[in-house]
Amino acid sequence: MTDKTEAEDAITNSASRSAPSRLRRPPGERLPGPKTNVCSRSYFVVVMVFFHVYIINVIVLLLYVHYSSGQEDSRPDSPRHAPSSDEQNQQAPRPPSKAPLPRHIFLPRIEGIRVGHVQKVSLVPGKVHEMRTLSLKPLLFEIPGFLSEDECRIVMQLAQLKGLMESQLMVQDGQEELAKELDLSPEEIFSLLDINQDGQLQLHEILTHSRVRDGIWLTPENLQEIYVGLNADKDGNGLLSLEEFRLLSVDAFQRFLLQRGVKRSQLVRNSQHTWLYQGKGAHQVLQDIKTRVTRLTRLPSTLVDLSEPLQVVRYEQGGHYHAHHDSGPFYPETACTHTRLAANASTPFETSCRYITVLFYLNSVDGGGETAFPVADNRTFDEVSLIQNDVDLMDTRRNCDKSNLRVKPTKGKAVFWYNYLSDGKGWVGEQDEYALHGGCVVTHGTKWVANKWINIDPDYQRQARFEQLVSHQSEDEDDEDLIMNSDAHQEL
């Protein structure tokens, strides 16, 4: 309370104390004698007038307080009356402006309570689903029977009709260019790789930073083969010294691997996929799934509508997807693929900004194919300790059994998790490192899954500007076309 308010209170209190005390005093007491009757009558009249004025004042004051607080309650941006997502969705679009847009959307986040906690959710009329918490780090849930058998079959058939393509091309470029652009000296690269700064490069130090080269997944054995093939480890102690490292050219490893030939099983990801649009005109099953995802996540439907289409993935026997994040870390210089339209300048980093992943199992797999979360609910997260004693927890062909959590693929089941933490103010915060996951190798049969990613820009202003732009453009264009044109479903 401020000084001024305290002072005002003191005045009000003394005023309200003085009136009743005057009333309590008997009128005859102060003016005794023969004039008492006349004087006491006029004194009584004066007192009564004051009394009435006082009462009227109090009533007027009470009425004023009542009406002014009623108005405050009905203000749409009052904190006591936060608008529901539906109300927000119905708000008329405003023209795009450069001024910061007011924050009035607070993203709901489903509470996990504790691992094993089951909550009932109503997603389709006349049916209740059970949603079980699988981990708190990341916040991860499973919902058995999310899709019906028919829905699973139709999604697989639609994907086949459209045609699936290899998820990863055999050779990818890019990392080499980045290294050249940065123009680092061999000494600088060596120092970056040498995590414990002992002047030697252990196998796990090289793998921590260079597991993936040209889309090829390196194992400790691969690396040892490369050492032998290139005669890199001259003293044969299994470590690379700075002198040994200097003799290797930057792309020596890649050239060696490419010359030797690469099998699909050596790639980061060995699967085929396609994209199915879920907007107006799409198969009813695809639209129904989108509506159900909106209900499940409790997010405003615009956010779900403007997200990537459904990705359908097929793993043949022997297929896998090594552990990864569906979306990258977010820095002030990071742009989101889906809001590129609304980005101001060229930004050095770009990521998909997939706030939530909803993963559907379209069939039950005969052997393997679990989704592994290697560090779910770990006490701490440390990138370096992902490889210990040459055991790489991110390698889903070999080490799924050492993952903290594995989800068995069962037809119709959905799992969903948050790839980002909350910023504590109702919006998207930092990347959740514990959301690391991958698809274990399929040992028997084929595995079919679908991904529904919900894209939200951690930069609220950019997300809001993007939505404004889309709502204007979609007056004559379909939202889905816009998403297609902006190629928001680009690979990570």
List residues binding ligand OGA (CB under 6 A).
313, 321, 326, 371, 437-439, 449, 451
Q: How far apart are CA 437 and CA 393, in angstroms?
A: 10
Buried (b) or exposed (e) across 360-383, using 16+ Cβ within 10 A?
bbbbbbeebbbbbbbbbebeeeee
**268 touches which of Fe ion, Ca ion, ligand OGA, none (CB within 5 to 8 A by kind)?**
none
Element (H, E) at 380: none
Element (H, E) at 281: none
Distance in Å, CB of 251 to Fe ion, minimum: 28
Distance in Å, CB of 422 to Fe ion, minimum: 21
Please say which residue, 325 or 462, places its beta carbon nearer to Fe ion.
325
Instruction: Tell me the C-alpha to C-alpha distance, in Å, between residue 228 and each of 30, 194, 238, 375.
Output: 117, 21, 10, 33
Distance in Å, CB of 74 to ligand OGA, minimum: 46
Please say which residue, 241 or 461, places its beta carbon nearer to Ca ion.
241
User: For residues 486 and 343, is the Cβ–Cβ distance under 8 A?
Assistant: no
Residue recorded with tokens 């102060």 = 30
**400 touches which of ligand OGA, Ca ion, Fe ion, none (CB within 5 to 8 A by kind)?**
none
Q: Tell me the residue type at 480.
A: E
Distance in Å, CB of 350 to ligand OGA, minimum: 18
HEC per residue, 9-75: HHHHHHHHHHHHHHHHCCCCCCCCCCCHHHHHHHHHHHHHHHHHHHHHHHHHHHHHHHHHHHHHHCC
Piece of 17-25, 43-51, 187-195, 392-400 that binds Ca ion (CB under 5 A): 187-195
Q: Does 194 bind Ca ion (CB under 5 A)?
A: yes
The radius of gyration of the chain from alpha carbons, rounded to an integer in Å, stands at 33
Please say which residue, 217 or 321, places its beta carbon nearer to ligand OGA.
321
**371 touches which of ligand OGA, Fe ion, Ca ion, none (CB within 5 to 8 A by kind)?**
ligand OGA
Q: How far apart are CA 163 and CA 269, in angstroms?
A: 18
Please say which residue, 200 or 474, places its beta carbon nearer to Ca ion.
200
**313 touches which of ligand OGA, Fe ion, Ca ion, none (CB within 5 to 8 A by kind)?**
ligand OGA
Q: How far apart are CA 262 and CA 225, in angstroms?
A: 14
**439 touches which of Fe ion, Ca ion, ligand OGA, none (CB within 5 to 8 A by kind)?**
ligand OGA
Q: Which of 406, 451, 450, 447 is nearest to 319 (CA)?
A: 447
Among 77, 176, 187, 198, binds Ca ion (CB under 5 A): 198
Q: What torsion do the CA atoms of 299, 305, 307, 313 make, to the nearest 10 degrees?
A: 100
**196 touches which of Ca ion, ligand OGA, Fe ion, none (CB within 5 to 8 A by kind)?**
Ca ion
Distance in Å, CB of 392 to ligand OGA, minimum: 17
Please say which residue, 241 or 404, places its beta carbon nearer to Ca ion.
241
Among 69, 74, 196, 346, binds Ca ion (CB under 5 A): 196
Distance in Å, CB of 326 to ligand OGA, minimum: 5
**422 touches which of ligand OGA, Ca ion, Fe ion, none (CB within 5 to 8 A by kind)?**
none
Please say which residue, 326 or 467, places its beta carbon nearer to ligand OGA.
326
- The DSSP code for 290 is H
Q: Token pair of 363, please?
A: 């069939």
**194 touches which of Fe ion, ligand OGA, Ca ion, none (CB within 5 to 8 A by kind)?**
Ca ion
Distance in Å, CB of 439 to ligand OGA, minimum: 3
**449 touches which of Fe ion, Ca ion, ligand OGA, none (CB within 5 to 8 A by kind)?**
ligand OGA
Buried (b) or exposed (e) across 263-302, using 16+ Cβ within 10 A?
eeebbbbbbbbbbbbbbeebeebbebbbebbbebbebbbb
Please say which residue, 245 or 321, places its beta carbon nearer to Fe ion.
321
Distance in Å, CB of 357 to Fe ion, minimum: 6
Q: How far apart are CA 22 and CA 93, in angstroms?
A: 62
Instruction: Tell me the C-alpha to C-alpha distance, in Å, between residue 435 and each of 209, 219, 404.
Output: 19, 22, 12
Please say which residue, 326 or 433, places its beta carbon nearer to Fe ion.
326
Please say which residue, 338 or 437, places its beta carbon nearer to ligand OGA.
437
Q: Which of 208, 195, 210, 194 is nearest to 242 (CA)?
A: 194
Distance in Å, CB of 488 to Fe ion, minimum: 17
Distance in Å, CB of 138 to ligand OGA, minimum: 12
Instruction: Tell me the β-bridge partners of 339.
Output: none
From residue 146 to residue 185, the character string flagging contacts with Ca ion as x (rule: CB under 5 A) and all else as - is ----------------------------------------
User: For residues 334 and 492, is the Cβ–Cβ distance under 8 A?
Assistant: no
Buried (b) or exposed (e) across 219-244, using 16+ Cβ within 10 A?
bbebbeebbeeeebbeeeeebbeeeb
Total chain residues near Ca ion (CB under 5 A): 4
**198 touches which of ligand OGA, Ca ion, Fe ion, none (CB within 5 to 8 A by kind)?**
Ca ion
Residue nearest to ligand OGA (CB): 439
Please say which residue, 204 or 269, places its beta carbon nearer to ligand OGA.
269
- Positions touching Fe ion (CB under 5 A) are 326
Q: Does 244 bind Ca ion (CB under 5 A)?
A: no
Angle at 355 between CA 354 and CA 360, to 5 degrees: 75
Interacting residues with Ca ion (CB under 5 A): 194, 196, 198, 200
